[in-house]
Amino acid sequence: MDDSTRRRFLKDLSLGAAAFSAPAQGAQTNQLPGRPPSGDTQAQPSHPTSTMAIAAHPGDAFFAMGLAVALQVHLGGQGVFLSLSLGERGSARIAPAQYGPLQRQAAENAAQMLGARAEFLTYPDGEIPVSEEAKFAVCDLIRQYRPGIIVTHWRGSWHKDHEACYKIVNDAVFYAGLPALDRKEPPHEVGKLFFADNWEDANGFITDIYLDITTVFDRWQEACAIFPMWRGENGFRYNDYYGSLAVTRGCLRGCKYAVALMSPAEQLTRRVKAL
Ligand SMILES: [Zn+2]
């Protein structure tokens, strides 16, 4: 099967979910004096849809991908946070057998606070397998929840679980949309795929979308604060980093808070009849 068929789910390049909107002709822009047009848009969301964050660990799902999910719920869609592991080896003080359930409970509470669902596949933290079993497990959850949008890890990560998640999701999206693949649920083609701006996945990450998430920023911070690791207890100050990052991204695009997202190269390709 060739690459164009494999990427069939990306063929619609009209950016139907306007919450993730591309430049719109005539839209109000945030152009600074002497700067080229930025391509900003104030387009209103038109098609609330389901957004699914698929992350290696619960912290990634909520801290790096959670604002996009929270916004979609705020706009009238559904939100799902899928973690491929519980991140149970993330604490230097608490044994994995105890930390895993704490992570699960925190994720469930945070998802509930944001009006979303939490799902888990509980592969061993640090050993998420890039296996057909894992790809089909994610495929089945995509078919079950039928998201219009998926946000996941970019492959340029130093963390092996994050890189594994990228590979798993890429193939799971393909499997989910394959009509001839018989699973419990019917096929589902994901409309859009985006990569999250994650401090561990920065190698080659190129922003092409700034999403204004000002309306859900405060709620998102409250949800993230359910996780003890949010405050830096495991060695990284997630609250300071991701909170400040949203401020920085907002400064760049003329809103109070924003998140940066990266699209797959295929998703950026357009067919036009005139330039
Ligand atoms: Zn992680």
| 83 vs 34, higher pLDDT | 83
The pLDDT value given to residue 45: 52
CA–CA separation, 250 and 242 (whole Å): 12
Of 2-6, 127-131, 237-241, least confident by mean pLDDT is 2-6
Q: State in Å: Cα 266 to ligand 1 middle.
A: 26
User: pLDDT tens digit string along 136-174?
Assistant: 999 999 999 999 999 999 999 999 999 999 999 999 999
CA–CA separation, 175 and 99 (whole Å): 33
CA–CA separation, 100 and 88 (whole Å): 4
Name residues whose C-beta falls within 8 Å of residue 99's C-beta, 6 or more positions apart in sequence.
Answer: 86, 87, 88, 89, 90, 91
CA–CA separation, 82 and 219 (whole Å): 19
Q: Could you tell me the CA-to-CA distances from 193 to 15, 65, 202, 209 in Å, in that order?
A: 11, 12, 18, 12
In this prediction, residues 232-252 reach a mean pLDDT of 95
Token pair, residue 162, equals 């994050």
With CA atoms as reference, report the closest residue to 254 among 66, 31, 64: 31
Q: State in Å: Cα 83 to ligand 1 middle.
A: 10
Q: What is the DSSP string of 98-145?
A: HHHHHHHHHHHHHHHHTT-EEEE--PPTT-----HHHHHHHHHHHHHH
The pLDDT value given to residue 234: 86
User: pLDDT tens digit string along 9-40?
Assistant: 444 333 333 345 444 443 444 556 666 556 55
Name residues whose C-beta falls within 8 Å of residue 100's C-beta, 6 or more positions apart in sequence.
Answer: 86, 87, 88, 122, 125
Q: State in Å: Cα 57 to ligand 1 middle.
A: 5
In this prediction, residues 102-117 reach a mean pLDDT of 98
The pLDDT value given to residue 32: 64
CA–CA separation, 229 and 225 (whole Å): 8
- Of the chain, the end-to-end C-alpha distance in Å amounts to 32
The residue count for the chain = 275
Q: State in Å: Cα 161 to ligand 1 middle.
A: 7
Q: State in Å: Cα 25 to ligand 1 middle.
A: 38
Q: State in Å: Cα 263 to ligand 1 middle.
A: 20
Question: Using an 8 Å Cβ cutoff, are 170 and 224 in contact?
Answer: no
Residue 49: pLDDT band with limits 50, 70, 90: confident
Q: State in Å: Cα 228 to ligand 1 middle.
A: 15
| 47 vs 100, higher pLDDT | 100
Q: State in Å: Cα 176 to ligand 1 middle.
A: 24
Judge whether residue 249 has pLDDT over 80. Answer: yes
The pLDDT value given to residue 38: 61
Q: State in Å: Cα 205 to ligand 1 middle.
A: 16
Q: State in Å: Cα 63 to ligand 1 middle.
A: 10
Token pair, residue 252, equals 């760049």
